[in-house]
Structure 1
Amino acid sequence: MNLNIYLLLFTLLISTSCDSRKLTPVADLPSSLKETSAIEKTSNSNMLWIIEDAGNKNHLYGLDTKATISKDLEIENIQNIDWEDLTSDTFGNIYIGDFGNNNKKRKNFAIYKVSDPENANAVTTAEVISFKLPKGIKSEDFESFFLLNDNFYLFSKDNKEVKLFKIPNTVGDHVAEFISEVKLKGKNTKVTSADVSDDGKTVALLNHDRLWKLTGFKSDNFFSGSVEAIEFDHDSQKEGINFIDSNSVLITDEKTKHEGGKIYTVDF
């Protein structure tokens, strides 16, 4: 089945029969992947792309509509220091965010561009976009970003203020631009993944037990508009989010002994 039709059927099912806060599992992730940290579908591919985080292989995996690995790319010129999120452009290129920083001692961060991954060889290379944080800002942990209008937007992972930064989509070295920060409501406000709808009007920030829907913002200060918290019906280590359409997302979580390791869909 074509993936677009496949996703549409699940979207229609949820919108007619499920509560908006209910996560509906649509597939199991491959059992060989224990720590999936992102999910992304490009505009010109039927695959779902996923990665694993720190301590795992420097591989980008493409899943077919049965959630089996049909493409396994080794990226030979880079390391998986701490891969945390994926995004893509309108040409079908995938970008890997290597910016995890649990101990907050990291000074140099990177985004890796994998061109046309669906048609790439099994062993390929990536272009490197590197960046540092502005002077006066302490080292931050990141697990979430997306690409919009040829700029990357990163959200810090923190239980206090969530900081928003901007980096140009240009190969080379950069200093991130600080845009704004916000205190999200709730006890646990650590953002683990992010995405923006295709029309650029809705931003989704993921957490283990909820997401935040950002709308009505001005320019690229995404916190300047409405911030709506949508709680889930269960708590697991959710690490990846990707828009299906302007009101629906795919979500992945990591596998534990008793739960997780699935792809879910949620309707707003």
Structure 2
Amino acid sequence: MKKASFMLFLATLTACQTKSQVVDFKETFALDKTHKEVSGMVFHEPTDKLWMLQDKGNPAELYAYTTKGTFVQTLKIINQENTDWEDLSQDKNGNLYIGNFGNNDNKRQDLRILKIDGTKLNESVTEVSQITTFTYEDQKDFPPKKSNLLYDCEAFVTTANYFYLFTKNRSKGFDGTFYVYKIPNRQGSFIAKKIATLKTCENYKKCAVTGAAMNKAETKIALSTHDNVFLIDFKNETSFTQANIKSVALHHNSQKEALTFLDDETLLIADEKEKGANGGKVYTLGLH
């Protein structure tokens, strides 16, 4: 190879490698030691707080932190069980939504999304103001075969009219496939309509979808995995195409289960505290 061609090859290779690297990913603060299993998080502008929830086996509560990491409040949700709370979302009016749809074994038939009125967040106890129950339109067996365990969910975002759910693939022979479903954002029982089949990567530990967030303008969606963030430019449901997914490698593998937009250029990401390991922290990721 001629010297000029070789130098061009090296420059191109370096540019590709640089594009995949994240230099603006850093630890921001540690969570309270009682919050070892944070699985959903939103930055809520009306209260200027980070609201979080924990997953299966934990109390039916939400927890509020300042953006600097001070734990300031617990909100108890009465008359509800934390069957398997897996994500937390919000709408433009400041209402919060709890995704009680964790389904590791793909056999649950009581999947639901719970709405918390944003005006109640300064209280210590509240009730849900809306319950949306649903089933997946294409799930026929509970559970399905091990090669078709595609009906767990740990991620969703909210608009005024719809919830968009992103499933977690637990199939034997994981290939990165996940489904996107649409459900009306209102009280009642619905069939979740599948609107897309997409892929991340073929490494389960790096690419199974664990959380979702939408920016305030509703123009961008971020999906978390243990070692990557996947970004989708959003206009409407036709935006869910393979060509419209951009991956951002974190080069930091931990049990990341939650993320939220602090602003259009900044994500906050939380991981669970793993036994005998690190975790239980919130990180900042700059999107440039």
Q: Please, what TM-score do these two structures have when normalized by structure 1?
A: 0.86
In structure 1, what is the equivalent of residue 12 of structure 2? Answer: none
Coordinate RMSD, CA, aligned: 1.9
Kept after mapping to 2: 8 A contact 1:42/1:93: no
* TM-aligned CA deviation for residue 118 of structure 1: 5.8
> Offset of 1:128 from its aligned partner?
1.3
Query: Matches of 2:133 and 2:101 in 1, distance apart?
Result: 10
Q: Distance in 2 between matches of 1:265 and 1:116?
A: 25
- Match status 1:45 vs 2:42: no
Deviations, residues 201-237 of structure 1 (Å, cap 9, x unaligned): 222111001111122x563133324211111121000
- Is residue 165 of structure 1 aligned with residue 166 of structure 2? no
Pick from 127, 134, 138 the counterpart of residue 137 of structure 2: 134
1:143 correspondence with 2:154 = yes
The amino acid across from 2:168 in the alignment is K
Amino acid corresponding to residue 280 of structure 2 in structure 1 = G
Paired position in structure 2 for 1:211:
229
Q: Which contiguous aligned blocks of 4+ residues in structure 1 show a shift greater than 6 angstroms? A: none
1:250 Cα deviation from its structure 2 partner: 0.6
1:226 equivalent in alignment to 2:237: no
Determine if the alignment matches structure 1 residue 94 to structure 2 residue 96.
yes
CA distance in 1, matches of 2:54, 2:259: 14
Per-residue deviation at 1:61? 0.8
Per the alignment, do residues 135 and 213 of structure 1 end up closer, same or farther by CA in structure 2, a change over 3 Å counting? closer
Partner of 1:194: 212
Identity %: 33
Measured in 1, the distance between the counterparts of 2:199 and 2:249 equals: 17
C-alpha separation in 1, matches of 2:230 and 2:222: 6
1:246 positional shift: 2.2
Cα shift at 1:198: 2.1
Instruction: Kindly indicate whether the alpha-carbon contact (under 8 Å) linking 2:213 and 2:261 is maintained by their aligned counterparts in 1.
Output: yes
Which amino acid is the alignment partner of residue 185 of structure 1?
C
CA distance in 2, matches of 1:136, 1:169: 21
Contact 2:22 2:251 in 1 (8 A): no
Any unmatched runs of 5+ in structure 2? 1-20, 143-150
Task: Tell me how far apart the structure 2 counterparts of residues 186 and 221 of structure 1 sit (CA, whole Å).
Answer: 24
Task: Measure, in 2, the Cα distance between the counterparts of 1:59 and 1:26.
Answer: 23
- Corresponding position: 1:103 with 2:105: yes
Q: Deviations over 1:178-201 (max 9, x none)?
A: 101112234223100011222222
* Farther-moved stretch of structure 1 (50-59 vs 137-146): 137-146
Change (3 A) 1:119 1:191: closer
- Equivalent residues of 1:153, 1:166 under 8 A apart: yes
Return the offset for 1:65. Answer: 3.6
Counterpart in the other structure of 2:190: 174
Deviations 1:55-80 (CA, angstroms, capped at 9, x unpaired): 11001111124423322111111100
Q: Residue in 2 aligned with 1:7?
A: none
2:237 alignment partner AA: D
Helix, strand or coil for the counterpart of 2:246? Answer: strand
Q: Which runs of 5+ in 1 are unaligned?
A: 1-18
Counterpart in 2 of 1:14?
A: none
